[in-house]
Amino acid sequence: MAANSVLIGAATTLVLIVAVFLAYNANDGLPFVPSYEINVQVPNADNLVKGNDVRIAGTRVGLVSAISPVSHPDGSTTAVLRLKLKTSVDPLPKDSTVWIRPISALGLKYVQITKGTDPQGFASGATMPLANATPIPVEIDEIFNMFDTKTRVNVRLNTDAFGNSLAGRGSDLNETIGNLPALLRNLEPVMRNLASDQTRLDQFFYQLGRTAAIVAPVAQQQAALFSNLDTTFAALATVARPFIQESISGGPASLEAAIETFPVIRPFLANTEALFTELQPTAVNLNASAEVLADATTAAIPALLKAPALDARLVAVGNTLKVWSNDPVVAIGLDDLTETFTQLNPTIAALAPTQVTCNYLALFFRNAASLLSEGDSKGTFQRFIIIPTPTGKNNEGSPSSAPANGPEVKNHLHANPYPNTAAPGQPKECEAANETYAIGKTVLTNPSGNQGTNTDWSK
């Protein structure tokens, strides 16, 4: 009995030792189990630890057995992963790619392998080159590092400024966007005419400079002329009614009498008659505008007194504009600007209903401004809610082969990547944020029926 007790105790102790050994080495794979091992070069193994999973199409096929850094002559550093894989993976095609992906936002990661189609594969112990480590992942801390103190302050200021500038101006913004197609359509022929050689835009500025140079020596005389005209029209204003008005009204009768009285000078009088006949409508209107012209002339005197200095400076401006207009790059720029407006016109016409009919642009800035609207004396808070991923077939919690489609009611993907926004060729409806939620159905396209154009205009 004693011998049997010792034997039983020894056997039990051996079993416990083997169990502890197997448990301690479980992360490195069970002993005596064949495996397929390869080395993989990656740009960065940040947050990846020994024992992390290796997956293909979401299925665990091995683990990371070792991680080691590699220094290069140019001073850069990469990492080499030792992967212990199932023998069913052997051989891994040489055009396969490796991607280090996060399992969750908490930092746990795994190695994802996307198998290629190359008939040649990596032998056991071979090293996959760095070029196969694609795409390069963007770490969540890299995203957060973009929003330093200065960036956060400026984002808040920009968001507040856009929100305040657009608040209460939805109608004006819609009207502006609605008029842009007509503006660009009318602007296109104008720019084409300016760019045309027949327009002779260079000669226009050249002649403008010459005109300023010719007028400059007599600018003082022009100022005196307008000053005297002001005195004349001020005097005429006092007798405009009824005297000048009656004289102008009796002009046709006087001319008829003159024609009968002076037949000898008929050719001269005939020409005079034609002149006064053409001036008659202007003279009638001049009576009502005499006071305005007098005020305008009075106001023009100070400006005309400064005209000589301005005319002298316009000579240099005209010469500069002449050189600018003769530059061949100007015509090329006008052609490019015309082409830009031509290409932009259909884009504006297609995007205008997104704001004019559906008000999405104003709603975006309104909602962006309110995203950080809550806080205390130390700063603002981002308003958000965490929505857990439902369970079921092809759920969004891990890579899947198809959209979420049950069997639970909640596990159905609803996505409308191209909603109708009343653009040309689409129904007049604003689908985004107005679709009816289809319970227990997977929806991956435009919902049936017309969702209407009612959006959140009042807030």
- Exposure string for 212-222, b = 16+ CB within 10 A, e = fewer: bbebbeebeee
What pLDDT score does 141 carry? Answer: 66
User: Closest by alpha carbon to 135, among 99, 92, 95, 93?
Assistant: 99
**Which residue is it, tokens 């609207």?**
373
The values of phi and psi at residue 400, to 5°, are -135, 160
What pLDDT score does 459 carry? Answer: 40
The overall average pLDDT reported for the chain is 81
Stretch 28-54: mean pLDDT: 79
What pLDDT score does 31 carry? Answer: 56
Q: Per-residue pLDDT for 201 more than 70?
A: yes
Dump strand ranges (E) for 276-320.
none
- Percent of the chain, pLDDT > 70? 89
User: Considering only 15-24, 304-313, 315-324, which range has the smallest mean pLDDT?
Assistant: 15-24
Stretch 312-333: mean pLDDT: 86
Stretch 362-373: mean pLDDT: 78
> Cα 302–307–312 angle (5° rounding)?
155
Q: Round to whole Å and give the CA distance between 71 and 54.
A: 25
Angle, helices 360-370/170-195, rounded to nearest 10 degrees? 120
